[in-house]
């Protein structure tokens, strides 16, 4: 049987599939040529990340496909219900990248809080001539310890991010319409474990109380954070979106930054991906990454291995 990993797969995942008797193809086929390639090569399994889409037309055009796999959490790029109605298995790896996303969020938060995203650019350019000026410009950083993190969406990734926050000495509050509370267990290097119970509260209360806000929600028709939400936030709040482009109103975000309501924001995803708006790219109060939330070696190994285990279980 043949597996097409069109957006790539880790070496560990590839080896696990090969040991299970599968031929793994890692050629990246252009979207418009995908149906022909799948049919010509009689592909049984197609694996994607976020670049390749598997819509109704592709599903109808490729009768050999038995499994559609998404390396990651969200499956916005797959017509899941339609695929299942046709008898296909649709799988993903919801737990594999949670900690990677959580660490990226905090990388952004620490960078924003101490202006690292700007000083790392300014020091090579002006560090020799304007050291004192730069020192003064970046002298009003804030600490995360003792601050309140508000988590919007308290699933696996939201909870993983909350664990990092607790480890950093932050208070955690959360909103999730489908969850009343969650028990978080922090594991430490010496085997010690500490448990926290986080009870969810209203979205409005999270927005009012939080010093830092992070979103971990699926793609939605309406903005999760728009102009009305910015209005009720604390002045000087920090925000991170490593969930989905379109859950934050980017125009309203820029206005909130200009007004001083938002001190800084981190975006790993964008409304117009892969071509973010220039006003975002040029804004000094934004810390930006090109959708790399799950892009760690460790996460990709976990994703590849988990996909391989599921595929072998289904087809073998």
Q: Which residues pair with 212 in a beta bridge?
A: 149, 238
Beta strands, E only, 26-109: 45-48, 67-70, 89-92
Q: Domain coordinates of the chain in residue numbers?
A: 2-96+297-315, 98-288
- Please state, in angstroms and rounded to a whole number, the distance separating the CA atoms of residues 8 and 19: 18
Q: Mapping DSSP to helix (H, G, I), strand (E, B) and coil, where does residue 85 land?
A: helix
- Residues with catalytic annotation? 244, 273, 291
Q: Which residues pair with 184 in a beta bridge?
A: 196
Instruction: For residue 14, give Cα distances in angstroms to 44, 53, 88, 130, 304.
Output: 15, 21, 22, 51, 7
Of 3.40.50.720, 3.30.70.1350, 1.10.645.10, 3.90.1150.10, the CATH number of 98-288 is 3.40.50.720
Q: How far is Cα of residue 44 from the mean position of the Cα atoms in its chain?
A: 28
CB 150 within 8 A of CB 209: yes
Instruction: Spell out the per-residue pLDDT of the chain, length 316, in tens.
Output: 999 999 999 999 999 999 999 999 999 999 999 999 999 999 999 999 988 999 999 999 999 999 999 998 878 899 999 999 999 999 999 889 999 999 999 999 999 999 999 999 999 999 999 999 999 999 999 999 999 999 999 999 999 999 999 999 999 999 999 999 999 999 999 999 999 999 999 999 999 999 999 999 998 999 999 999 999 999 999 999 999 999 999 999 999 999 999 999 999 999 999 999 999 999 999 999 999 998 999 999 999 999 999 999 999 8
**Which residue carries 């999730």 as its tokens?**
176
Q: Which residues pair with 266 in a beta bridge?
A: 240, 287
∠ CA(147), CA(150), CA(155), 5° rounding? 135
Instruction: Supply 308's token pair.
Output: 């391989």
What is the pLDDT at residue 94? 83
> Is the peptide bond between 274 and the residue preceding it cis, with omega within 30 degrees of 0?
yes
CB 86 within 8 A of CB 59: yes
Closest by CA to 80, choosing from 71, 93, 67, is: 67
Indicate if 98-288 has the same CATH topology as 2-96+297-315. Answer: yes
Question: Which stretches of 141-267 are DSSP H helices?
Answer: 156-167, 203-209, 227-232, 250-259
Whether CATH 3.40.50.720 fits 2-96+297-315: yes
For residue 305, count other CB atoms closer than 10 A to its CB. 19
What is the pLDDT at residue 156? 94
pTM, rounded to two decimals? 0.89
Instruction: Supply 167's token pair.
Output: 């480890």
């Amino acid at each position: 049987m043949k597996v097409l990993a069109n957006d790539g797969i880790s070496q560990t995942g590839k080896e696990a599939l090969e040991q299970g008797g599968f031929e793994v193809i890692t050629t990246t086929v252009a979207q418009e040529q995908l149906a022909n390639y799948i049919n010509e090569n009689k592909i049984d399994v197609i694996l994607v990340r976020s670049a390749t889409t598997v819509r109704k037309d592709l599903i109808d055009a490729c009768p050999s496909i038995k499994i559609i796999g998404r390396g990651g959490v969200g499956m916005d790029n797959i017509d899941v219900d339609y695929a299942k109605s046709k008898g296909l298995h649709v799988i993903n790896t919801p737990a594999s990248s949670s900690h990677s996303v959580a660490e990226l969020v905090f990388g952004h938060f620490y960078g924003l809080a101490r202006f690292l995203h700007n000083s790392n650019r300014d020091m090579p350019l002006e560090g020799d001539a304007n050291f004192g000026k730069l020192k003064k410009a970046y002298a009003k950083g804030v600490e995360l310890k003792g601050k309140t993190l508000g988590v919007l969406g308290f699933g696996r990734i939201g909870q993983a991010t909350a664990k990092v926050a607790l480890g950093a000495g932050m208070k955690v509050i959360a909103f999730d319409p489908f969850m009343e509370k969650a028990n978080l267990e922090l594991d430490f290097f010496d085997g010690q474990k500490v448990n926290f119970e986080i009870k969810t509260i209203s979205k409005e209360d999270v927005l009012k109380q939080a010093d830092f806000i992070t979103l971990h929600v699926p793609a939605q028709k309406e903005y999760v954070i728009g102009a009305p939400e910015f209005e009720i936030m604390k002045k000087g709040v920090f925000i991170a979106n490593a969930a989905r482009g379109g859950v934050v109103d980017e125009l309203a975000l820029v206005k909130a930054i200009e007004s001083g309501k938002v001190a800084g924001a981190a975006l790993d995803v964008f409304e117009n991906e892969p071509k973010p708006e220039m006003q975002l790219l040029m804004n000094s109060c934004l810390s930006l990454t090109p959708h790399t939330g799950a892009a760690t070696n460790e996460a990709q190994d976990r994703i590849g291995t988990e996909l391989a285990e599921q595929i072998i279980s289904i087809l073998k």
